[in-house]
Amino acid sequence: MKFTIAVKDLQKELSKIGGAISTSAVIPILEDFLFEIKNDSIMVTASDYDTFVKISIPVQNVEGEGVIAIPAKIIMETLKALPDQPITIDIDENNGVKLYSANGVYQLAGEQADEYPSMPNVNADKVIEFDQSILQTAINKTLFAVSNDELRPAMTGVFLQIEEDSLTFVATDAHKLVKFKCFEPTGSSYQGIILPKKALSLLKTALAAEGNGLIKMSINENNVKFEFSDMVMTCRLIDARYPDYNAVIPKENPNVLTVNRNDLQNALKRLAIYSDKSTYQVILDLQQNKLNIKAQDVDYSNEAEETLDCNYEGGEIRIAFSAKFMIDVLNVVETEDITLLLSTPNRAGIIVPSENNEGEELLMLIMPIMINV
């Protein structure tokens, strides 16, 4: 078997799916890419057993057909080290792999593909199609808020609720929460599912490299399959009950602050330098059209405060948040101004953009922390 492709093109395509390969693979062959060579293209698969991602890559000068597993680490490192040029990959009957470049030959051992697990067949209970940009935006808005706590598996993914007229994506780590709703006709509703973080990270990388187009999403009780462009991905859903996120969103918030997003974010970055590094606590004192923010690290006698102009309606309130979490939340807002909705110092604050994009609703929640100064 033999084919030719430009170094840059092969590296780009393999980078889209390489993140699926685990550094501690369940079985050794999952440390490899699976190459299926047929006609004028190759199909390459990467997997960690729970997530499978397959991409079609056009190549030239194809000779022969077959399947082989090629170690991912060595081929990716080789491609990164080579200048951009055509390379020919030649695979012999004993699974020996040779890469021919303009100036050299690189030889490595492939493996029989028999032990490579098959991508699961998703017999869908629900199939929907929507624009790729919707999923890309949803991932960008929510992925940062996903928890890394394996003791709470439900929170290690993004919750997706499908309704007849909308898709709602929710992520939380118990300190912050993001709810992104896109009004997109789906035709029917489906029970909430939890999409794992790793699969969404792979989709984020792949979608960023694609243009506009539709994505097809097939769902059953255990798995979900995404199909778009030249890529297919399946992943196992997180089997857990997602917490009732609506219960932690305060319904009545009489204290309303509107402030320039960049001004607030930059102030928080400066003040975080002077905050306690275990909590990154900053204290917000809100009065009529005046926002005072203070940070202090008692152990090192560090202290700083800033005052920002704002529009504020409500009573005087003093509340503390983590500067780090607030900065994370503000990073996903695109509007010039943001609105912070508050009820009491011991209840969550809600951050929303001053104006939502058409067909979208974004709500972010951040939990307060006890004032210790």
pLDDT for the residue 220? 93
Domain ranges of the chain: 2-115, 126-245, 249-366
Does position 216 have pLDDT exceeding 70, yes or no?
Answer: yes
- Distance between CA atoms of residues 289 and 20, nearest Å: 49
- Distance between CA atoms of residues 160 and 181, nearest Å: 10
Q: Degrees (nearest 5) of the Cα angle 20, 21, 27?
A: 130
Q: Which residues contact 23 (CB under 8 A, 6 or more apart)?
A: none
For the stretch 277-334, pLDDT in tens is 999 999 999 988 899 999 999 999 999 999 999 999 999 999 999 999 999 999 999 9
Q: What is the DSSP string of 346-373?
A: TS-EEEEESSPPTTEEEEEEE-------
8 Å CB contact between 55 and 43: yes
Query: 22: how many CB neighbours lie within 10 A of its CB?
Result: 16
Angle between helices 197-208 and 132-142 (to 10 degrees): 130
Question: Token digits for 1?
Answer: 């078997």
Helix (H, G, I), strand (E, B) or coil at 198: helix
For the stretch 144-159, pLDDT in tens is 999 999 999 999 999 9
8 Å CB contact between 217 and 226: yes
pLDDT for the residue 24? 84
pLDDT for the residue 211? 64
pTM of the model: 0.93
Residue 212 banded pLDDT, cuts 50, 70, 90: confident
For the stretch 184-207, pLDDT in tens is 998 889 989 999 999 999 999 999
Does position 209 have pLDDT exceeding 80, yes or no?
Answer: no
8 Å CB contact between 217 and 190: no
Residue with tokens 């210790």: 372
For the stretch 224-280, pLDDT in tens is 999 998 999 999 999 999 999 999 999 999 999 999 999 999 999 999 999 999 999
pLDDT for the residue 23? 82
Question: Token digits for 60?
Answer: 């030239």
Q: What is the DSSP string of 5-38?
A: EEHHHHHHHHHHHGGGS-TT-SSGGGGEEEEEEE
Say which CATH superfamily domain 126-245 falls into: DNA Polymerase III, subunit A, domain 2 (3.10.150.10)
Is 126-245 the same fold as 2-115? Answer: yes
For the stretch 342-372, pLDDT in tens is 999 999 999 999 999 999 999 999 999 988 6
Mean pLDDT for all residues in the chain: 95
In this structure, which topology does domain 2-115 adopt according to CATH? DNA Polymerase III; Chain A, domain 2 (3.10.150)
Lowest mean pLDDT among 26-30, 45-49, 269-273, 282-286: 26-30
For 39-133, where are the E strands, in sequence order? 41-47, 51-58, 60-63, 66-71, 86-91, 96-100, 105-109, 126-131
- Distance between CA atoms of residues 230 and 132, nearest Å: 13
- How far apart are the two ends of the chain, measured CA to CA in Å? 70
Residue with tokens 């997706």: 160
8 Å CB contact between 267 and 308: yes
8 Å CB contact between 17 and 44: yes
Minimal CA–CA distance to 33: which of 50, 51, 53?
53
Question: Token digits for 97?
Answer: 């792999």
Measured in degrees and rounded to the nearest 5, phi and psi for residue 356 equal: -80, 150
Residue 373 banded pLDDT, cuts 50, 70, 90: low
- Distance between CA atoms of residues 298 and 281, nearest Å: 12
Measured in degrees and rounded to the nearest 5, phi and psi for residue 24 equal: -125, 70
In this structure, which topology does domain 249-366 adopt according to CATH? DNA Polymerase III; Chain A, domain 2 (3.10.150)
pLDDT for the residue 372? 62
- Distance between CA atoms of residues 41 and 246, nearest Å: 48
